[in-house]
Chains A and B, each alone.
Chain A
Amino acid sequence: MSGFTSLSVAMFRGFVRDRAALIFSILLPVLFLLFFGSIYKNTSAPKISLVTVGQVQLLAQARHADPGLGKVLTISHARTERAALADVRKGNNDAAVLQHGDHLVVRFSIADQTKAGLVNSVLGSIVQAANQAASGKAPVFTLSASQVEDKSLKAIQYFTPGLLGWALASGATFGAAITLVSWRENKLLRRLRLAPVSSGSIVAARIGIAVAIGLIQLAVFLAIATLPYFGLRLTSAWWMTIPLVICGILAFMSIGLLVGAIAKTQQAATSIANLVILPMAFLGGAFLPLDFAPDWVRQASYVMPLRYLVTGMQDVMARGEGPAAALPAIGILLGFTVIVSLIAVRMFRWDDI
């Protein structure tokens, strides 16, 4: 075995036997994925619930004419108008509906404005359709509307890349920082310096292990998210996530090396790495999708390497863009790696004195 191979084997064994590292780099992100995956599983089509008082002929006709309405509407009944309104106020139902002759009365709450708008437009279109049917003429204009994304675009398509990006970033940063500091503390770095093995082999072995760990994280994430229960559908250029993951690992290892060069103790390294990674996870689009984030967060995200890893993975994994869509992100991550590594090398120390 060469120095490179034996160092890689030693480091890999050290990693898989480190329970804390396994928990933080694989188990915890996977639990987050399971948690968010279960919560947001059915949020793609919002439903509205109506409570009716007495006979509401129009609704019954509409449901008869278009069985698809049942997917959007759930209907319950109340005895009195008073009870129905109280129900809406409490938020148990989105609107109360009554029919006085040809007049349809809708009472809704504006506590949930999206639902209020939905109630108005659904019932408005029911009334319109009824009017149109009463006129006995065929409709002149018709409207067909559909979303621009693939119909399958669910929440999981957004936060799988986000959580994976966070897992990769924290795994690579903490791994590199802690290894560097603890090897300096226990003098293994100096011991290795006195063995006939080049610094290049040591660094290459450490990078190799980090990349291997990153690809394991990727595989675990994809295996879970694509389970039918969660329903992630990979788009055609998803394989571009592999080079993206490798470049992301390099970028975050360079941060880890810098942290390890600055920190004197393992505790200090952990604190500094947390200080870097946690804000980045929130502002770089890992925990909160950037599409829904306030403007200042989106602006801030441009200086975070995590943003490019997460959005790059989203583009090729979920948005269905071509392989070339990942190239800008790859370029930025590599450029970042070069700059931060150069700083880290300048600050590097073999020992504490």
Chain B
Amino acid sequence: MYRLVPATITVRDLCKSYGDVAAVDGVSFEVGTGEFFGILGPNGAGKTTTLEIIEGLREPDSGDVSVFGLPAWPRNAALLPRIGVQLQASSFFERLTAREQIHTFASLYGVAAKRGDDWLETVGLTEQAGLRTEKLSGGQAQRLSIACALVHDPELVFLDEPTGALDPQARRNLWDLLRTISTSGRTVVLTTHHMDEAETLCDRVAIMDHGKILKAGPPAALVRELDQPLRISVESGLIPADRAAELTGGHVADDGVSLSIATRDPARVLAGLARADALAGLRVTGATLEDVFLSLTGREYRA
């Protein structure tokens, strides 16, 4: 691939085994400057190991990894101030308050404590600043952990399963925060096993399974490449199935709750349904990354 902007991360033919298990098996990709890059796959796919090798925490068995043009292994102290790492919500000092945690990290990076306070405000934790981290909710702890990763304003941020243990509402709240951190040219690398998360947040994703990258690209492009029919569904009982098939020319199924039509010609289907005044409860769904995963592996996606 030809790029005007030099790649922030270059990974080539990366391999890492634990015993007989190949955790990472010949992985290559690049992450451009300012890109929001997602490594997506089920648990045990090798995402975290890949991330840890790029961070410089683990030595690869073979392959090359460079970050800002410098080799990632052995741990390069010159790289550390330029990268931010969020490992897990619980990677905190025991019995310190949220404010004390971020002040400690600020001073480890030689940054003024005030910057820590600003970040607490950015992630919406000003009210909880005096609470010990053990008392924070899962979502609050994740926000704090992201703030601690960003306190020194790094050019490159690694987020390992940032929404891992959160409930759906907390996950969506966190997405808003994650969107804001990729502004101002910062490069973000995120691992996740949530397909929807990768789809909404990432400029580009690499789908990983069994230590290999199956496919990489912008989520929308991956889905479009699948060339799957759209599913258009309305409430059951508005229109008989055979009449719907006749009107729309699509493949119709009615399960008693919804009547759904698979089609590659949505305009005709929607026009037909509109003419029959059968649009109540209308939903149009396209293929998702889960369908991409299904087509790549031949199995249902299970996180």
Contact = CB atoms under 8 A, between A and B. Distances in A.
Interface string B90-124: 11111110001001110111100000000000000
A18 B80 contact: no
B89 to A, nearest CB: 9
A182 B109 contact: no
Contacts of B95: 13-14, 17-18
A9 B99 CA distance: 13
Contact of A1 (B18, B55, B81, B107): B107
A2 to B, nearest CB: 8
B57 interface: yes
A196 B81 contact: yes
A197 B107 CA distance: 10
A123 to B, nearest CB: 65
A21 to B, nearest CB: 10
Contacts of A11: 93
A353 B75 CA distance: 18
B77 interface: yes
B108 A194 contact: no
A6 B81 CA distance: 17
A195 B88 contact: no
A196 to B, nearest CB: 4
Contacts of A194: 55-57, 80, 83, 85
B92 A186 contact: yes
A216 interface: no
B77 to A, nearest CB: 6
B87 A9 contact: no
Contacts, number: 69
Nearest to B75: A193
A71 interface: no
B80 A196 contact: yes
Contacts of A193: 57, 75
Interface in A181-205: 182, 186-188, 190-197
Among A3, A18, A195, find the residue whose CB has the most chain B CB atoms closer than 10 A.
A195
Interface residues of B, number: 28
A17 B132 CA distance: 11
Given A14-B94, A14-B95, A194-B80, A186 B88 contact: yes
A350 interface: yes
Contacts of B18: 353
A32 B93 CA distance: 32
A195 B109 contact: yes
Contacts of A195: 80, 105, 108-109
Nearest to A353: B18
A249 to B, nearest CB: 20
A196 B109 contact: yes
Contacts of B90: 186-187
Nearest to B52: A190
Nearest to B49: A353
A191 B85 contact: yes
A257 interface: no
Given A10-B100, A194-B85, A18 B94 contact: yes
A195 B55 CA distance: 11
Given A6-B107, A187-B91, 17 more contacts: A1-B107, A5-B107, A6-B104, A10-B93, A10-B100, A13-B95, A13-B100, A17-B132, A186-B92, A188-B92, A190-B87, A194-B56, A195-B80, A196-B77, A196-B109, A350-B57, A351-B57
Counting from the closest, the 8 A-B pairs by CB-CB distance are: A6-B107, A17-B95, A196-B80, A1-B107, A187-B91, A191-B91, A186-B90, A14-B94
28 contacts: A2-B107, A3-B107, A3-B108, A5-B107, A6-B108, A10-B93, A10-B100, A14-B96, A17-B132, A18-B94, A18-B95, A182-B94, A186-B88, A186-B92, A187-B87, A190-B57, A190-B91, A191-B85, A191-B87, A194-B55, A194-B57, A195-B105, A195-B108, A195-B109, A196-B77, A196-B109, A350-B57, A351-B57
